[in-house]
Amino acid sequence: MGVEQVFVDYFTRAKAYDQLKKSGKPYRHDAEMETLVEILNGERFIFVILMYKVKLIC
């Protein structure tokens, strides 16, 4: 399982959690899923900084 699949799985679970929450059925509170739902709904923003080596050819 790669990094991309981990993100896909987490956000898929978060969407299902949000649907259950909005349905009015009883659900177990999950702080991690709440954070991911906020990201999906545009209520929380994330910043990604990529750092990598660049080989200079002279």
**pLDDT tens-digit series, residues 1-56:** 688 999 999 999 999 999 999 999 999 999 999 999 999 999 999 988 877 777 76
What's the pLDDT score for residue 15? 97
First and final C-alpha spacing in the chain: 39
pLDDT (0 to 100) of residue 56: 67
pTM for this structure? 0.74
> Residue 2: its pLDDT value, please?
86
pLDDT, residue 58, reads 64
Distance (Å, whole) CA 41 – CA 43: 6
pLDDT recorded at residue 49: 84
Cα angle 10, 43, 35 (rounded to 5 degrees) comes to 35
